[in-house]
Amino acid sequence: MKKYILGLFAVAVVSSCVSQQDKAMKSADKNYILKVANENFAKKKWKNSLALYDRLANLVAGTDDFPNVGFNTAYANYYDKNYKLAGHQFKNFAVSFPKDPRAEEAAYMSALCYYEGSMDYNLDQSSTELAINELQDFLNNYPTSERSKNITTLIDELSYKLEFKSYENGRQYFNMGDYKAANTALENVLEDFPSTKLRPKIYDYMMKSRYLLAQKSIYDLKDERIESALSFTKQVEKDLPNTEYSKTALDLREKLEKEKKDFAVVKKQTEARIATLTARQKKEVEKLAEKNKTEDQIKNQIDAEKKAMQIQRDSAKLQTPPPAATFKIQR
């Protein structure tokens, strides 16, 4: 019986809330709508309060209630995880009511909304870059605020997300075997984020990329790439002494030195073979040229003899007299 009564009471309360919300949605009474909207807000019924605050926007415009409605609307959207809309509303409040005691809080919440809207590192990071700019704006506008400490932490977190995405891009190139692209991408990470905490790992992948690129290099670029890889192993040992990365650098340098010596032998043999082939080719060219020269001489001699014979024939025609005239005897 007791449970039955409690159930009826709960149903009655829900029905009352539903009918109150429905009544407020249909009402033209600004004060009543505002009252129900604020009650919903206090009870954390964000969607219900938002529906009513939306109706109030025009009704309270120009009144003392307008700032409160705007501020509560922004918070309701924030708690309802509509971060993009909430961020815009908080920012609009801070700009529209700069003398309001809540202006700094609104500016902070606006920046926080952009932070919450930042996408995962493996997705497009334009939202993260925008969030960093908004957080930095808060620091610029409220440098002495107690909230600035938290803002700095958030900026560091978002910056690391950008660093990690860039690092992951380079690592993916490495895993795909595109060592040249991997090395370039990782160099860009160091250039864009000189203070990155990922430097040891970036060095490791750059070192291995250069080593593998040298090992698999084409003949004409092998010397240059071996030297580049050797130079980088020395840089790793200098910048990261007594670490697992410096040990890897030492191991790779020994392999590269052996590769360099082996290639020097191959290079010497190749150059000797090229020299032999070049000399042989030169002889063949000279032999062919001599043959062509002899053939040209024979051809010229034949042409000269033909020409001489033609001249003799033409001369004989000129020296031969025409035959005597003949007359027919009439009968």
**pLDDT one-digit tens code per residue, 118-172:** 988 878 888 899 999 999 999 999 999 999 889 999 999 999 999 999 999 999 9
Distances from the Cα of 194 to the Cαs of 168, 169, 188, in angstroms?
17, 17, 10
pLDDT in tens, the chain (331 residues): 444 444 444 444 444 456 888 898 888 888 999 999 999 999 999 999 999 999 998 888 889 999 999 999 999 999 999 999 999 999 999 999 999 999 999 999 999 999 999 988 878 888 899 999 999 999 999 999 999 889 999 999 999 999 999 999 999 999 999 999 999 999 999 999 999 999 999 999 999 999 999 999 898 999 999 999 999 999 999 999 999 999 999 999 999 999 999 888 888 888 788 888 888 888 888 788 777 777 777 788 888 878 877 777 676 666 655 555 444 555 4
Is residue 36 a contact partner of residue 55, using CB atoms and an 8 Å limit? no
Q: Which fold has domain 84-177?
A: 1.25.40
How far does the chain reach from its first CA to its final CA, in angstroms?
A: 173
* pTM beyond cutoff 0.85: no
At 160, is the secondary structure helix, strand, or coil?
helix
Q: Residue 211 and residue 230: Cα distance in Å, rounded?
A: 8
Is residue 125 a contact partner of residue 119, using CB atoms and an 8 Å limit? yes
What are the structure tokens assigned to 131, written together?
């969030």
Q: Residue 319 and residue 276: Cα distance in Å, rounded?
A: 65
